[in-house]
Amino acid sequence: AQSVTQLGSHVSVSEGALVLLRCNYSSSVPPYLFWYVQYPNQGLQLLLKYTTGATLVKGINGFEAEFKKSETSFHLTKPSAHMSDAAEYFCAVRGHAGGTSYGKLTFGQGTILTVHP
Amino acid sequence: DTAVSQTPKYLVTQMGNDKSIKCEQNLGHDTMYWYKQDSKKFLKIMFSYNNKELIINETVPNRFSPKSPDKAHLNLHINSLELGDSAVYFCASSQGQGPNEKLFFGSGTQLSVL
């Protein structure tokens, strides 16, 4: 079985400060990892994903995440927060061919990011 | 045009009623999903259909019945609604497999059962 834990349901930063949203996962097979963003009254949008290859993944809006297998982590970062980054962020894991979780996304409980002027 | 659209956006109803949520995608995708987001914001997959065939059916009460008349539509019918069914329901679609699969989500339907 796979699971995702996001540390901190709320994160607050000042505009221009570093954004760090934490995500740890457990999976019986090497998973695919995702970060999604949800703006108010909208569906989830894919920010970035890790499948194979380079462990540092760059996404949209200046976000990036690093897959660390030894730490089973996939933390999301952005060097400088912008007011428009205020949203809820979800980490997700998905099994791939060979695992019992193939095709199913398992989400964390979300982290609300607040950006102060 | 909205890629994945679901209606209604808000649904308020009494316990015991039967209601439906509709979902349509205009992306030409083969696979569609229903996810449930509970009050603690956990998103969990409920069903997945590929070309109108059920491929994922999580442990969901049989009061929930998905129906896919064609691969562009996946509707969710709920019988005998209960208080615990109150949640936000998201429809999604995807194309491709493995690392190239990407999900597109609708904006959600907030269901409130009174």
pLDDT at A85: 96
Residue B98 above 80 pLDDT?
no
Is A81 buried (19+), middle (13-18) or exposed (0-12) by CB count in 10 A?
A: buried
Judge whether B27 is closer than 8 Å to chain A, CB to CB.
Answer: no
SS3 percent helix, strand, coil of chain A, rounded to 5, is: 10, 55, 35
Per the structure block, which two tokens stand in for A103? 């095709």
Higher pLDDT, A87 or B38: A87
pLDDT (tens digit per residue) in A4-41: 999 999 999 999 999 999 999 987 777 889 999 998 87
CA distance A59 to chain B (A): 14
Q: Name the residue with tokens 């083969």.
A: B30
Q: Residues of B with CB below 8 A from A42's CB?
A: 107
- The answer to whether residues B35 and B46 touch, using CB atoms and an 8 Å cutoff, is yes
Cα–Cα distance measured from residue B9 to residue B88, given in angstroms and rounded to the nearest whole number: 9
Judge whether B10 is closer than 8 Å to chain A, CB to CB.
Answer: no
| Count of beta carbons in the 10 Å neighbourhood of residue B106 | 28
Report the SS3 class of residue A103. Answer: coil
Q: Residues of A with CB below 8 A from B21's CB?
A: none
Strand-strand pairing, A10-14 and A111-116? parallel
Band (B43; pLDDT cuts 50, 70, 90): confident
pLDDT at A96: 64
